Amino acid sequence: MANGVTVLLSIISQLRPGADLSRITLPTFILEPKSMLERITNFMQHPETLLPMTAVDDPTQRFISVVKFYLSGWHIKPPGVKKPLNPILGEYFTCHWDFNETPGTQAFYISEQTSHHPPKSSYFYMAPHHGIRIDGTLKPQSRFLGNSAASMMNTSVVVLRLLNRGATAGKPDGGEKYILTQPNMYVRGILFGKMKYELGDHSYIKCPELDLMADIDFKVKGFFTGAYNAIGGQIKRESTGEVLYEITGSWSGEMFIKDCMTGKRDLLFDATNAAPTSPIVRPLSEQDERESQKLWGPVTTALKSKDQEGATDAKFKIEDRQREEARLREADGVEWKPRFFRAVDPSRGEDEQLDWIISTNIDGTTPEEQIKQILNIAPIITGARRASKYDIPPHHPHTETVPEGTQNEADEFGPGLIPTNRGVTTAAGHSTRPEAGQEVRHSRSGSDVSTMSARSAGSVRGQGRGVKYDDSDEFVDAGER
């Protein structure tokens, strides 16, 4: 009851109907001890549905296997209503899977927060031996709706490619392409009643090359009728609208598919007792301070020990750092750029709605070559060192450019942007020389382009817990992809 009163008072003090929840501070006890970048991997944690897709020869059955994979991960979420930690700009998370089903094969995942306002989490997944690649950008748009909070996901897109299928199989950027969208997410009862998490509204899966699409309806429970977590859907021939299959069931339980021609009904996937396969993450001792688990370590440790005050203080410290980084970038005229991702190029057939895509061109002709290219992007495997291509070389500023009394405070969190007249360094580690007379900004040292200063932390915390921040966590229970 005490937690419910705290949520009520905290939210009421900040919200109006239709307000943008990405600008609202929420109590730490509703947080999941995991960053959004890590939470996205729920999408890939059922290899028994993911890996067989490229081995299915019949085009329609292959499409159905993609639908099965898409529906298999929604049930993975923490008990109750929890939201992941909202990544800070430039935060990144990597991991991999060793597949017991097919010994000697692996999958790799790289993600990065490519924008903060609006929030965008970009990610890359590839299983080279199985010919599967996934690119996505999560772009939640959160809203307060009275007694509910909504995370609108209609602009978030996933592009899945089966590299050994389709007319462009084996070619650079080729393979059979599937475009997937996501349902919206709702948290009911945030002001009164029992808090409940729901998926709602329509999402689709399309494969233009096969002329097939699936329209999946995630049904929200009515006030008097319906059931929680229900789904319905159809698989259609897109050009004619002919319905080939119908889908029914529950995304947290049994899901069925019925052949509309024969009337035969089969179990598509049973999430009731499905055990997810968690990824393997490098130990904290090997992680950079900008990697999710290390960055949020003090917060997650406090959350797991139910130390809400400690979690709040640690979280504010990280959020204050992000505000200070943004202020100094603006003051120094520095444009922030992602470390591992670049803007999409529609002329190369890249989907504009992705916004960002992994910078490295994975064009190896064998799985071994592709794995080597992936491992050169970021440290993923235990014991791996970060490729120098993505490091920011150490630099030493002119002493007169460092404001008196701020050097040690900034050093508490690591490197930052300090004006020099030697060049500019981006998050990808690319340095440029200035033109004659051009004023430029440079990073001080280390692996991050952003200043990490806590100098404002004490003053902001002193304002009390109910203060509204413009870059706090958004209310997203992200079982999303």
Tokens of 460: 């902001």
For residue 90, the model assigns a pLDDT of 95
Instruction: Provide the pLDDT for residue 442.
Output: 39
Distance CA 52, CA 65 (A): 8
3-state DSSP call for residue 53?
helix
pLDDT at 301: 95
Domain count across the chain = 1
Residue 288 lies in a domain: yes
**Helix-strand-coil split of the chain, %, nearest 5:** 25, 30, 45
What is the structure's pLDDT at 15? 54
Residue 227 lies in a domain: no
Distances (CA, A) of 238 to 205, 211, 242: 11, 5, 7
Select from 385, 378, 181, 358 the least CA-distant residue to 292.
378
| Phi, psi at 317, each rounded to 5° | -65, -40
Neighbours of 171 (CB within 10 A): 11
Does residue 177 sit within a domain?
yes
225 within domain boundaries: no
- Residue 167 CA to residue 171 CA, distance in Å, equals 9
Structural domain of 319: 1-213+284-376
Q: What is residue 291's DSSP assignment?
A: B
Q: Is residue 365 part of a domain?
A: yes
Contact 109, 124 (CB under 8 A): yes
Classify residue 27: in a domain, yes or no.
yes
Write down the pLDDT at residue 461. Answer: 36
Residue 134 within any structural domain of the chain: yes
Render each residue's pLDDT in the chain as its tens digit; 481 residues: 445 455 555 555 555 555 555 445 556 667 889 999 999 999 999 999 999 999 999 999 999 999 999 999 999 988 878 889 999 999 999 999 999 889 999 999 999 999 988 999 999 999 999 999 999 999 988 887 777 888 888 789 999 999 999 999 988 789 999 999 999 988 888 777 788 889 999 999 999 999 999 999 999 988 777 889 999 999 999 999 999 999 999 999 999 999 999 999 999 999 999 999 999 999 999 999 999 999 999 999 999 998 988 998 999 999 999 999 999 999 999 989 999 999 999 988 888 889 999 999 999 999 999 999 999 999 999 988 765 454 443 333 333 343 444 333 333 333 333 333 333 334 443 433 333 333 334 333 333 333 333 333 333 333 333 323 333 443 333 334 4
- How high is the pLDDT of residue 424? 39
Residue 17 lies in a domain: yes
